[in-house]
Amino acid sequence: MSSPSHSLQKSPRPALRLWPAWLILLVTALTLAGVRSYDGISFQKRNLTTLVVGVVALSLLLGWWLGFSRSRGRGRWGVPLALVVALAVGAGLFRVRGVSGDLVPIWEPRWVRSSRAPTGGTVAVGIAGGAVIVNAPRLAMAAVAVGRPDFPQFLGPDRNAVLAGPALAADWVAHPPEILWRSQVGAGWSGFVVVGARALTQEQAGPRERVTCRDLFSGVVLWSHEDEARYDNPIGGEGPRATPTVVGDRVYTLGSTGRLNALELATGQVKWTRDIVGEAGSQVPDWGCAGSPLFLEGRIIVSAGGKKQQSLIAYRADTGERVWAAGEAAASYGSPMVMTLAGRRQIVMFNHRRITGHDAEDGAVLWEHPFGAGQPHVAVPVVVGPDRVVFSAGYGVGSELLKVSEGVGGKWGAEVIWRSLKLKAKFANPVARAGYLYGLDDGMLACLDLKDGSQVWKEGRLGHGQGLWVGDLYLLMAENGELVLMRPSAAGANELHRFRVFGAKTWNPIALAGDVLLVRNDQEAVALRVTLAKNPEAGAL
């Protein structure tokens, strides 16, 4: 007798529980929309918050998939395994080459060779892979120009990113910038200075910091000086930050670890050297020493950031002998500035958490004012009146207009006239013109009314680059490597033209000597010829 047959039926597999995933995605989308549109925090913090929200959302989705989605079999573990494999492959193929000024990681294929200057030797003309590519016809035109002004220090002759001239032609369609030479350089955020036919900057060469003197018209290295020093940071990058200062036959440079050098302009021979961090008993700031040396009446003045009257130090420019030291504030990333406020010539220093005004003769602290909450201070202060000066910083800090005065008994002080979150200058230096303040606010060009700090307009995303005002034109090297020509006014930014120079992040200050514009980033340097206006009244001025 045969037993009856029984068909075994499998219970149906439960459907995926999808509503938690949709809920996670909805909350994430709403959160990101709120974060991106909220002006109460800086653009950098919005980016960091976006990253955190994304990581949290991904973690929640993984938790849902493994614990609450009802997934079964291979798919349950296959999805996270595929994610791990994808991340591993991505890490193997790409590397992070620093971050943008908005703290966004910059990805670079690992098979792309990093463009860095040779670790030694002289740059040769015409070697495309070696360093300098020269536009010979245009080089000859530039070399014969006469009356070319110097650009001897950080932000120009007056150390304020403003040049009265020469008048620039504003029509780049008819007269676009022309590249005279292009050269590889070592890493660093130093700018160029120009004296005569010499162009100098600072760069990294392996384990050594290098001061390089190039021929202005060809880019050929005339001499270089090296010190065993290296600063590197995953966010801040590698190499020197400060820009040289040239006075007479001397070049004064400050390295990222605090080495102050006086070099002979003609040869690069060392005249004297000091370790300002060691002498002040301070420490290298988180992003490296960045303040460019200030020359004032035979003295070189630098921000050392030490306590016990070692914050600001003056050395004799000819011998390196210490003249005076004063102040208690820790160093940030600004450069010493000399200005006359309330009838008194002062050295104003944008320090960490504190602004100080020092007597120009002996360095004594005249006044101080708290500022910020620990964020980096980079942009230089802007004088906007006989007793008024504007300070601005990024990371959501904003700007303040201070009135500096001498009170009863010779006691100095600084009074806040207004505060504004409408201009947060991170790297680029604001400029005051005709009652308005212009600068990059979280990477967008903004105009503030100096009467009350209100924002007149804000236009275009240019990133955290560096610029110069020349007449009524603004030359800006945008963070993305484009040279932008504008004629800003209270009516708007009035962008005129763009010219692509680099294809990588560009933070370095720019230098203009007559019709030769020197620009660089942490990989390349370029000299461009910009056309001058034949009729200044109809051109730039």
Domain with CATH 2.130.10.10 in the chain: 132-529
* CA 368 – CA 415 distance, rounded (Å): 10
Residues whose CB is less than 8 angstroms from the CB of residue 430 and which lie 6 or more positions away in sequence, other chains included: 379, 382, 390, 392, 399, 423, 437, 438, 439
Q: Using CA of residue 281, residue 283, residue 285, residue 288, what is the dihedral sign?
A: positive
- C-alpha distances in Å from residue 52, one per residue of 57, 84, 90, 499: 9, 19, 20, 36
Q: Regarding beta strands 466-470 and 162-163, do their DSSP bridges make them parallel or antiparallel, or are they unpaired?
A: parallel
Q: Measured in Å, how far apart are the chain's first and last C-alpha atoms?
A: 113
CA distance 474 to 462: 13
Q: Which residue has the tokens 């202005």?
A: 216
Q: Determine the pLDDT at residue 84.
A: 86
In sign, the C-alpha dihedral spanning 52, 55, 59, 60 is positive
Whether 469 and 445 have beta carbons less than 8 Å apart is answered as no
Q: What class does CATH assign to 132-529?
A: mainly beta
CA distances from 5 to 12, 144, 277, 311, 538 (A): 22, 106, 92, 95, 103
3-state secondary structure of 21: helix
For 140, other C-beta atoms within 10 Å of its C-beta total: 11
For tokens 């910091």, name the residue.
Answer: 209
- Residues 527 and 216: beta-carbon distance below 8 Å: yes
Residue 236: per-residue pLDDT: 82
What residues contact residue 522 under an 8 Å CB cut-off, 6+ apart? 185, 186, 187, 188, 189, 237, 238, 239, 504, 505, 507, 508
Q: What's the rounded Cα separation, in Å, for the pair 527 and 501?
A: 10
Q: In the 8-state DSSP scheme, what is residue 35?
A: H
What are the structure tokens assigned to 115, written together? 């463009």
Give backbone dihedrals phi and psi of 441, rounded to 5 degrees, phi first: -100, 105
For 478, what's the count of Cα atoms within 13 Å in the CB-facing half-sphere? 21
Single-letter amino acid code for the residue at 224: S
Tokens of 155: 């932000």
> Kind of pairing, strands 94-99 and 365-370?
unpaired
Residue 278, classed as helix, strand or coil, is helix
Alpha carbon distance 433, 354 (integer Å): 26
How many Å is the maximal CA-CA distance in the chain?
123
- How many whole angstroms separate alpha carbon 344 and alpha carbon 26? 60
For 172, which DSSP code? T
Q: What is the CA angle 114-214-475, rounded to 5? A: 75
CB neighbours of 26 closer than 8 A, spacing ≥ 6? none
Q: Could you state, in chain order, the average pLDDT of each consecutive group of 10 residues for the chain (541 residues)?
A: 54 81 92 84 82 90 88 83 86 79 77 52 36 52 64 97 93 96 96 97 96 97 96 88 97 97 98 97 94 97 96 98 96 96 97 96 97 91 97 94 93 96 93 96 96 96 94 95 97 96 95 97 96 66 30
DSSP string for residues in 423-473: ---SSSPPEEETTEEEEEETTEEEEEETTT--EEEEEEE--S-EEEEETTE
Asked if 427 and 392 count as a contact pair (C-beta separation under 8 A), the reply is: no
